[in-house]
Homo-oligomer: A and B are copies of this chain.
Amino acid sequence: MQIYGADYYPEHWDESFWNRHIEIMKEYGIDWVRIGEFAWAVFELKEGEFHFELFDKIIKLLKDNGINIILGTPTATPPAWLIRKFPEILPKDYNGKVREFGSRRHYSTNSKVYREYSARIVEEYAKRYGSIVDAWQIDNEFGCHGTTYSFTEDDRKMFIEWLKEKYGTLDNLNKAWGTVFWSQTYSDWNEIGFPINTPTFENPHQMLDIYRFMSDSSIDYMNMQIEIIRRYSDKPITHNFMVDFMDIDYRKMAKYLDFVSWDNYIATKEYDPLRQSANHVLMRSLKKSPFLVIEQQPGRVNWRDVNENYPGEYLNMWTKQGYINGALGVMPFRFDQIRFAAEQYHGGLLDYAGRPTKRLEMYSKVKSETPNVVESKKEVAIYFDYENEWIHRINHVNRKFRYWDNIIEIFKAVRKLGYNVDFVFADDDLSEYHTLIVPYAFKIGNEFVEKIKLFKGNVYMTCMSGLKDENNWIVERAPHMLIDEFGVEVMDFGAIDKSKANILNADFEVDYWMDELRVYDGKILGTFDNGMPLFVKKSNRYYLASVLNEAGWLNILSRTLEPKFIGSDVEYSEAKDGIYILNLKNERNNIFIGSQIIELNAFELKVIK
């Protein structure tokens, strides 16, 4: 990897601590830090009175010691004076309740006045440090804590502007939203608002536009900052994305960034390595290029119900997992552990007394093991669309179904067979992949329909695909424009609970959904327990009329994807320069490749060139 470092908060310490911190960094090979992203009040404690002394000093000290700097803009934390002066900056949640000052992210991206104050502080940062620092981070974790969504009067006004831009006329909007239903037809733009605490279900077309608008609002707010920085700095700009996060269309947001960064925290009760890996791969897939883990969970965090500790070996392994999935760097959050404030229980690379920990030691060992940036071979493509995630949230046939979770089931199956995955978006080039999976893809635009038709290899498509259009209307006949391609038509459908089914006469578990298929010219390979067609093949096109779990997918995919290795609890990746195998267990393990045994120590990364 190219970036070894940690997130650092010099403002949390008396400056007498700084030299000791930097000494430890140098001793342990840390030569990148990210700083400054929550420090607005350090610079501007009172309106318009700017103080640069602290950061001037620490930035010089870091650079003098050969440490590279990523500087974060501090807009995730508007200071108290600003909120007291303009309380309308505060966001309102979906219950219409104001989210008050006292933690972070207490602003609406659409607040006019907040945009002005944000622009000013960002310009101050950019002017002063634009030529000194090595990279930029915009704000911090857009959308964290549900803050993508805000429903203030400023938000409403901007939503109306966004709608005018999109639809041109009210008549277009009324048609697209089907407002004739329940007399929702608008006769004036200003009648449009947010469906807060409505007696019953919202308009699903309006909801999809709300999700789009809110995602665009974050992107637009970010771009306002990027434009300012570009005026003063030619350094690369990034933003830290989040794990399992779907509120913002990261594909769209990533287009404006020089590289993608993300914050790798364990999102499940137990550490689930292939789920974290799916997130790494999604991040790599956004720009189809290397990404930075700009925050890496070091051990214990503070925001779970039960915050367990992890021995230092885990940080070592997590870092190697980022590496084999294409990371250009991994930076533990955070270098210094603080004794105060909302994150006082969050672990760091130092301990509360400022002493280096086992975690720091184990992290520093990674450097020699991860020399380059790994470039995976292209093998299996899984179609993904943030907007489809939003459609899945809105009115529903089965409220229990989760889009991303069920895509991860497929991802895991493919990875356990030893194949690399890329998530592909509608405008991606598919020519290098040999297999394409199109799961639960409610809306498939014409562009991607054509790519499916032209795809040379095997294509697997599932239920809930090609069932909706751009406006979240149901299509007349499904799968839309792909009936001939797959040889089936979805005549009707309904939700199901877990039930038995058979594929090639073996038992499978299906869940969530049942298509009622009319099969035109496919071969039926499996049935539901009521005898209706479940799995249909037409040449190298496969249609699955329900939802399978990982085991089910592993079973059906293994008929066209020969397993590359036999074994478990490893992550296996064929890259352009060799095979990378990471033991995910904290004990000895082995796998077989053909008749060859590969033995691995606890958490060992082995590279076969």
Contacts and interface: CB of A to CB of B under 8 A. Distances in A.
Contacts of A178: 12, 338, 340-341
A84 interface: yes
Interface string A159-188: 000000000000000000111111111111
B397 A78 contact: no
Given A84-B190, A342-B200, A491-B351, A96 B96 contact: no
A47 to B, nearest CB: 9
Contacts of A185: 41-42, 45, 79-80
Contacts of A39: 183
A494 B307 contact: yes
Contact of A200 (B104, B299, B344, B491): B104
Given A309-B492, A345-B397, A340 B183 contact: no
| Interface of A: prevailing SS | loop
A469 to B, nearest CB: 9
Contacts of A206: 102
Given A38-B182, A187-B80, A99 B514 contact: no
B400 A473 contact: no
A309 B514 contact: yes
A352 B474 contact: yes
A563 to B, nearest CB: 34
Interface string A381-394: 00000000000000
A351 B492 contact: yes
Contact of A12 (B100, B180, B190): B180
A300 interface: yes
A340 B84 contact: no
Contacts of A347: 492
Contacts of A493: 309
A198 B77 CA distance: 12
Contacts of A181: 12, 38, 338, 340-343
B351 A80 contact: no
B344 A306 contact: no
Interface in A3-57: 11-12, 38-42, 45-46
One complex includes copies of this chain to the number of 3
A203 interface: yes
A222 to B, nearest CB: 18
Nearest to A346: B395
A355 to B, nearest CB: 9
A186 B80 contact: yes
Interface stretch (A139-147, A445-453, A542-550): A139-147
Interface in A458-501: 471, 473-477, 491-497
A180 B11 contact: yes
A382 to B, nearest CB: 26
B352 A476 contact: yes
A375 to B, nearest CB: 37
B95 A187 contact: no
Interface string A510-545: 000010100000000000000000000000000000
Interface in A284-337: 299-300, 302-310
Contacts of A202: 102-103, 342
Interface in A329-372: 338-345, 347, 351-354, 357
A197 interface: yes
Contacts of A91: 199
Contacts of A340: 177-178, 181, 204-205, 471, 473-474
25 contacts: A39-B183, A45-B185, A46-B187, A80-B187, A83-B191, A91-B199, A96-B100, A99-B198, A102-B203, A103-B198, A103-B201, A103-B203, A105-B200, A106-B198, A145-B200, A182-B341, A201-B303, A204-B341, A309-B493, A339-B476, A344-B395, A345-B395, A345-B396, A352-B475, A352-B476
